[in-house]
Amino acid sequence: MSKVQSGAAEGGFRQAMAWLHTWGGLWACWVLFVIFLTGSLGVFDEPITRWMKPHLPQASEATGDTRMGDGFDRPQAVRMARTWFEENQPDAHFWGIGLPSDEDPSIRLFWQDPQENFHNARIDASTGNPVDGSRERDSEGGHHFVHMHFEFHGGTAGIWFVGAFTMAMLVALVSGIVIHKRIFKDFFTFRPGKGQRSWLDAHNALSVLSLPFQLMIAYTGLATFYALYMPAGIAAHYDSEEAYFADLLAQPAAQEITGIAAPLAAFDGMLLHAEQQLQRPASFVSIEHPNDSSASVRVFGRFIEKPGEYRLLGDGGGRVFFNGVTGEQSDVQMPGELRGGAAQDVQSVMANLHFAAFGGHLVRWLYFISGLAGAAMLATGALLFMVKRRQRSLNEFGSATPRVYRVIEVLNVGTLTGLTIACVAFFWGNRLLPLGIADRPEWEIAVFFAVWLLSVVHAGLRPVARAWVEQLLALAALCLLLPLLNWLTVGDQLFSYLQRGDGERAGVELVALGTGVLSLWGAWRLTRPRRAPAAGRQRAAAAQARS
């Protein structure tokens, strides 16, 4: 069995790695492209959310203000939230209360029903009544891209799916480094207009010049979910994950539900006590097992961004734990207090490095550019695979080879341009879906997936060369007309954003316009009569005829 030739692990280390890079990279590249493109967009989830929800205020500059008074009556807000929960969700296992702030002046409610499903709602902070969302644009916003990025909207299974492909990314990066013979000699090399040579140059340059970022982002992504991906150590040495985290972070362990009814202590008392302790406004209150004798309450301090202060560690807002029945404080972690030793510090730094929120706008832009470089690296790799084989089949799959090649071509078009079209279509869905329909955010996501599916079907029905051009033109149209659509539906557009100094919303439209121009250029490159590659083909044909 060990003597059978399969292409893998043959001909020395470098050749074995070349095989692994080609085939491992090929089967992983489409999913990874989705992860990279949506992750890059997810860097700007807040600006995207603001563009999609025109009723939200413009982003304000960080002031580092830790004062309690910001015009919101938080004790009243927790009382209102509790009244709503007691009336509507008394049997829930978990209640969460997002407190009002300048960013969102309503009270956001989250709960987990006895069947373990999560739900949410919003109530008005001044009346305590449910927010009438029929007149405002209810939207999934930029969260959509973040959720596509880490779970494909697929819950825990989705997180595992993304994790598996991130491992493939690490393996592809390592094998890629091994097979790149002249990393330093070819460091700056890009020779355009030379067919396959240019695609390889572009693939190499993109990978090598952003390699630190690609390694970092893949590894820190895995480290963020380490307890999910690598539960073996915790399972072997602890009774439960909760016990492990309680030990690691020196905090009270979660209690099992007892089934003995017990009324909760007053929320406003705990809130005021916590704000006093943390010396800052609270942002969130969570209640485990409400109205059970095991009830516990946690109050989280607001995350406060101080202007000109950038850190990778110790940026938490602090939290205070209470016994939910007696209302007594059981633990307090002050803002910036570190627990869990050097290992936890490393994990926190890794997670912060991944989330790109540590260095202001410039760091977000650097992550956006590097993430797109990663997406482009995957795209050029996928294209290179087919460019290499379009002229001369390598017959890897025997008689099925042409069909497999066709599938790869369709997946290339359906992912590279198809997904990008779907991302822009998501913005169109936000502006075109009627206001006030039930589950509007879910409909936006449905538009995204429907358009993506249509793009894949289109790629499957058309000849490859035509499919590329048509999808690039569709992408260009959707991108370039987006500001116009915004003006027609909401009455706002790029210039009014710029006039008001709303850089976030203007940025969304500028990136769309840039993408539109690039795809137009791509379509033009593909349709103009070509000379050099044709000459290359003739040379190849002549060489074949000679041999």
Smaller CB separation from other proteins, 227 or 513: 227
Q: Which of residues 130-169 bind other proteins (CB under 8 A)?
A: 167
Using left for φ > 0, alpha for ψ between -120 and 50, and beta otherwise, residue 285 falls in beta
What is the nearest approach in angstroms of other proteins to the Cβ of residue 382? 20
Rounded Cα distance, 202 and 181, in Å: 15
Which range touches other proteins (CB under 8 A), out of 79-87, 186-194, 254-262, 489-497?
186-194
Q: Which of residues 32-71 bind other proteins (CB under 8 A)?
A: none
Among the listed residues 107, 39, 102, 114, the one whose alpha carbon sits nearest the alpha carbon of residue 75? 107
Q: Other C-beta atoms within 10 Å of 414: how many?
A: 24
Enter the DSSP assignment of 238: -
Which range touches other proteins (CB under 8 A), out of 85-93, 231-239, 377-385, 467-475?
231-239
Smaller CB separation from other proteins, 19 or 94: 19
Q: Other C-beta atoms within 10 Å of 114: how many?
A: 9
Options 26, 121, 179, 248; binder of other proteins; rule CB under 8 A: 248
Options 343, 394, 438, 543; binder of other proteins; rule CB under 8 A: 343
Give strand pairing partners of 282.
Answer: 301
Rounded Cα distance, 400 and 398, in Å: 5
**Helices in 290-400 by DSSP H: which ranges?**
341-355, 360-391
Q: Which of residues 254-313 bind other proteins (CB under 8 A)?
A: 308-313
Residue that has been written with the tokens 């316009």 in this structure: 513
Quick one: tokens of 538? 């003739």
Distances 526 to 11, 304, 437, 479 between C-alpha atoms, Å? 38, 49, 42, 19
Please tell me whether residue 382 binds other proteins under the rule CB under 8 A.
no
**DSSP-derived pairing of the beta strands 282-288 and 118-123:** unpaired
Options 129, 155, 190, 403; binder of other proteins; rule CB under 8 A: 190
Query: Residue 357 in contact with residue 348, Cβ under 8 Å?
Result: no
Please tell me whether residue 2 binds other proteins under the rule CB under 8 A.
yes
What 3-state class would DSSP assign to 487?
helix
Options 159, 170, 179, 518; binder of other proteins; rule CB under 8 A: 170
**DSSP-derived pairing of the beta strands 296-301 and 118-123:** unpaired
Smaller CB separation from other proteins, 310 or 521: 310
Please tell me whether residue 234 binds other proteins under the rule CB under 8 A.
yes
Which range touches other proteins (CB under 8 A), out of 107-115, 351-359, 415-423, 478-486?
351-359
Please tell me whether residue 523 binds other proteins under the rule CB under 8 A.
no
Please tell me whether residue 370 binds other proteins under the rule CB under 8 A.
yes
Judged by CB under 8 A, how many residues of this single chain contact other proteins? 73
Smaller CB separation from other proteins, 315 or 409: 315
Please tell me whether residue 242 binds other proteins under the rule CB under 8 A.
no
Query: Residue 159 in contact with residue 151, Cβ under 8 Å?
Result: yes
Smaller CB separation from other proteins, 311 or 406: 311
Which range touches other proteins (CB under 8 A), out of 102-110, 364-372, 419-427, 513-521?
364-372
Question: What is the amino acid identity at position 414?
Answer: G
Using left for φ > 0, alpha for ψ between -120 and 50, and beta otherwise, residue 430 falls in alpha
Distances 230 to 123, 242, 284, 353 between C-alpha atoms, Å? 39, 15, 29, 20
Please tell me whether residue 191 binds other proteins under the rule CB under 8 A.
yes
Which range touches other proteins (CB under 8 A), out of 38-46, 82-90, 355-363, 521-529?
355-363
Please tell me whether residue 369 binds other proteins under the rule CB under 8 A.
yes
Smaller CB separation from other proteins, 188 or 260: 188
Smaller CB separation from other proteins, 199 or 427: 199
What 3-state class would DSSP assign to 239?
coil
Q: Which of residues 197-226 bind other proteins (CB under 8 A)?
A: 205, 209-210, 212-213, 219, 222-223, 226
Please tell me whether residue 171 binds other proteins under the rule CB under 8 A.
yes
Give strand pairing partners of 301.
Answer: 282
Please tell me whether residue 346 binds other proteins under the rule CB under 8 A.
yes
What 3-state class would DSSP assign to 153?
coil
